[in-house]
Amino acid sequence: MDPRKSENEGNLDPDQSGLIYQMALDIGGSLAKLVYFTYDEDCAIEGKDGMSPEKAVAKSKGSKSCAVLRGKLNFKIFETSKINDCLEFIKSVKLRLGGCQRQENPGSQAIAVKATGGGAYKYTDLFKERLGINLDKEDEMDCLVAGANFLLKAVHQEAYTYMGGQKQFMDVDHNDLYPYLLVSIGSGVSMIKVEGDGKFERVSGTSIGGGTFWGLGKLLTKCKNFDELLELSYQGNNRVIDMLVGDIYGGTDYSKIGLSSTTIASSFGKVISNDKEIEDYKAEDIARSLLRMISNNIGQISYLNALRFGLKRIFFGGFFIRSHPFTMDTISVAVNFWSKGEAKALFLQHEGFLGAMGAFMSSDQHELKKLLENKAVHQQASSIKACAIAGDLHGDESIECCVYSV
């Protein structure tokens, strides 16, 4: 059950990685997320150019308690507007992927890759023409939920709360996971009531999401990318731009209605009264105001929806969060504030890859899954257990994982 020791350098460069075994894509409005599985070298000892899973399983049959399949789940993101980078990357790993497939299917048919998100539809032709890859489309919500369910169950301490700058990791009891509200913050925001595996409903959402932060931020600050904008927000002071309760009530708390003087009364509200141009404001301050506005709003709407359906847990996912402390803090504070402390915001380590993970898991021709099913027949029980590598997990990352039998 123990996870493999971590290899921090990850598997970013396909040349250094093991075999690419399976890949799935989630192409959203802003970002394309890629999840792929590579074997560990020691599992693929018999041939660099590809050992079939069956062989790997066969190899491991001798040792009963040993994992049957070891490898890494790798996570990678690209900007959707630079979809070519993504294509190039896949192209570079395609040989191995193809090689693997070709062994199985000498007919050299087009390769099918699971994909979800709007881009799976939009870029179908592009993938076909450029890479000969058939994007096998999976429903976005299905994937999101499947990905979240998988990660919450399979990954040790996938969920955590974030209050006052502290991450508090927690394991969720599998039997007490449902129902929960899954808030996926991508370009836009979807709010999904999840009641079980494959049992869910999109109950709400908002168009004010990561795309809004980035889009407005780009227009207002001339920042070139999302991370830069986030970085800026660290150094900003939203008081310059936001109208606070204290600004209205002369610095005294308006405690009668439960507002402190630092509560934001109106995001960007101070801009009205100042006779300043956009150039007169610091980009840092703008980024900060924007981030607080959007995070707070998402926290509030999420809480209201959780309340509405009596859901005690709210999990936040999606690329917008990126383990960004300030974002998480604002969302946590919002949920805490609006629920008067009754609800807590929970975050996921792999928040950005829920959809891609779900797509990865969705394949019914999934060799990995086949294996698992086989094992299940033989061994009664099996599962994938994966463990996250500690540390910052945005952008490119990987999880050591192994398929093992109990």
Partner 1 sequence: MEGQKEFVQIDPNDLFPYLLVNIGSGVSMLKVDGDGKFERVSGTNVGGGTYWGLGRLLTKCKSFDELLELTQKGDNRAIDMLVGDIYGGMDYSKIGLSASTIASSFGKAISEKKELEDYRPEDISLSLLRMISYNIGQISYLNALRFGLKRIFFGGFFIRGHAYTMDTISFAVQFWSKGTAQAMFLRHEGFLGAFGAFMSYEKHGLDDLMVHQLVERFPMGAPYTGGKIHGPPLGDLNEKISWMEKFLQKGTEITAPVPMIPPGTTGLGGFEVPLSKGSTLRPDASALNVGVLHLVPTLEVFPLLADPKMYEPNTIDLSDHNELEYWFTILSEHLPDLVDKAVASEGGTDDAKRRGDAFARAFSAHLARLMEEPAAYGKLGLANLLEMREECLREFQFVDAYRSIKQRENEASLAVLPDLLMELDSMDEETRLLALIEGVLAANIFDWGSRACVDLYHQGTIIEIYRMSRNKMQRPWRVDNFDDFKERMLGTGDRKPTPHRRALLFVDNSGADVVLGMLPLARELLRRGTEVVLVANSLPALNDVTAIELPDIVAEAAKHCDILRRAAEAGDLLVDAMISPSNSSKESSTSVPLMVVENGCGSPCIDLRQVSSELAAAAKDADLIILEGMGRALHTNLNARFNCDALKLAMVKNQRLAEKLVKGKIYDCICKYEPAN
* Separation CA 12–CA 124 (nearest Å): 25
Q: Which residues pair with 160 in a beta bridge?
A: 169, 347
In the list 270, 313, 366, 375, the residue contacting partner 1 (rule: CB under 8 A) is 270
* Separation CA 336–CA 319 (nearest Å): 22
- Tell whether residue 319 is a contact of partner 1 (CB under 8 A): no
**By rule CB under 8 A, what string of x and - marks binding of each residue 331-350 to partner 1?**
-------x------------
Give the chain's radius of gyration (CA, Å).
Answer: 23
Q: Which residues pair with 34 in a beta bridge?
A: 25, 76
Burial group, residue 139, by CB count within 10 angstroms (0-12, 13-18, 19+) = middle
Q: Which stretch binds partner 1 (CB under 8 A): 69-77, 167-175, 258-266, 371-379?
A: 258-266
Burial group, residue 205, by CB count within 10 angstroms (0-12, 13-18, 19+) = middle
Q: Answer yes or no: are the C-beta atoms of 381 and 406 closer than 8 Å.
A: yes
* Separation CA 316–CA 323 (nearest Å): 11
- Tell whether residue 187 is a contact of partner 1 (CB under 8 A): yes
User: Whose CA is closest to 242, among 301, 287, 303?
Assistant: 287
Q: Given the complex with partner 1, which of 10 and 117 has the nearer CB atom?
A: 117
Query: Could you give the C-alpha distances from 324 to 32, 213, 349, 392, in angstroms and in order?
Result: 19, 13, 11, 10
- Tell whether residue 297 is a contact of partner 1 (CB under 8 A): yes
Angle between helices 210-221 and 226-235 (to 10 degrees): 80
**By rule CB under 8 A, what string of x and - marks binding of each residue 188-217 to partner 1?**
x-------------x-x-xxxxxxx-xxx-
**In the complex, minimum distance from the CB of residue 224 to partner 1, in angstroms, rounded to a whole number:** 11
In the list 3, 14, 18, 28, the residue contacting partner 1 (rule: CB under 8 A) is 28
Q: Answer yes or no: are the C-beta atoms of 211 and 29 closer than 8 Å.
A: yes
**In the complex, minimum distance from the CB of residue 271 to partner 1, in angstroms, rounded to a whole number:** 3
- Tell whether residue 252 is a contact of partner 1 (CB under 8 A): no
* Separation CA 35–CA 175 (nearest Å): 27
Q: Which stretch binds partner 1 (CB under 8 A): 27-35, 64-72, 101-109, 146-154?
A: 27-35
Window 79 to 138, contacts with partner 1 (CB under 8 A) = 79-81, 117-119, 121-124
- Tell whether residue 258 is a contact of partner 1 (CB under 8 A): yes
Q: Which stretch binds partner 1 (CB under 8 A): 42-50, 76-84, 151-159, 355-363?
A: 76-84
- Tell whether residue 236 is a contact of partner 1 (CB under 8 A): no
- Tell whether residue 293 is a contact of partner 1 (CB under 8 A): yes
Q: Which stretch binds partner 1 (CB under 8 A): 302-310, 323-331, 347-355, 389-397?
A: 302-310
Size of the site for partner 1 (CB under 8 A): 66
User: Whose CA is closest to 366, among 12, 129, 35?
Assistant: 35
Give the length of the chain. 406
**In the complex, minimum distance from the CB of residue 140 to partner 1, in angstroms, rounded to a whole number:** 7
- Tell whether residue 281 is a contact of partner 1 (CB under 8 A): yes
* Separation CA 125–CA 71 (nearest Å): 31
- The residue whose two tokens read 């019914």 is 364
- Tell whether residue 304 is a contact of partner 1 (CB under 8 A): yes
- Tell whether residue 30 is a contact of partner 1 (CB under 8 A): yes
Binding site for partner 1 (CB under 8 A): 28-30, 79-81, 117-119, 121-124, 139-141, 186-188, 202, 204, 206-212, 214-216, 218-220, 222, 241-243, 248, 254, 257-258, 263-272, 277-278, 281, 286, 293, 296-297, 300-301, 304-305, 307-308, 338
